[in-house]
Amino acid sequence: AQSVAQPEDQVNVAEGNPLTVKCTYSVSGNPYLFWYVQYPNRGLQFLLKYITGDNLVKGSYGFEAEFNKSQTSFHLKKPSALVSDSALYFCAVRERGGFKTIFGAGTRLFVKA
């Protein structure tokens, strides 16, 4: 069965430190991979996506993600965290040629000043 795993319910990091939010997936073929962020009382906002090519994808607000095909992972990273990055982050996967999108359970990021 297709699935997306975000193994950490919460990630805590100090402001200015690098952050990583993990995502692994089990989807056939070479899927499209996405990261979204959700701020309180808001809908999800697109951060970045992987389609093909370079394994390091750059997105909005200084975020980037590293695709690793052998580990079927797509971890979200930022070199220097900000307090304003505190939010709920979702990894999502869509099979190429398919119409369904599968979301992970979400990881809450807490950045302490």
Partner 1 sequence: EAQVTQNPRYLITVTGKKLTVTCSQNMNHEYMSWYRQDPGLGLRQIYYSMNVEVTDKGDVPEGYKVSRKEKRNFPLILESPSPNQTSLYFCASSLDGRTANTEAFFGQGTRLTVV
Q: Is 106 in the site for partner 1 (CB under 8 A)?
A: yes
Nearer to partner 1, 83 or 105 (CB): 105
Q: Is 98 in the site for partner 1 (CB under 8 A)?
A: yes
Handedness of CA 51, 52, 57, 58 (dihedral sign): negative
Distance of CA 96 to the CA centre of its chain: 18
Nearer to partner 1, 15 or 75 (CB): 75
Binding mask 57-96 for partner 1 (x = CB under 8 A): ---------------------------------x-x-x-x
* Residue 72: exposure state from Cβ atoms within 10 A (0-12, 13-18, ≥19): middle
Q: Is 49 in the site for partner 1 (CB under 8 A)?
A: yes
Question: How far apart are CB 5 and partner 1 at their closest, in Å?
Answer: 10
Site for partner 1 (CB under 8 A): which residue of 28, 43, 70, 113?
43
Task: Please give the residue ranges that form the binding site for partner 1 (CB under 8 A).
Answer: 4, 6, 9, 32, 34, 36, 41-46, 49, 51, 90, 92, 94, 96-106
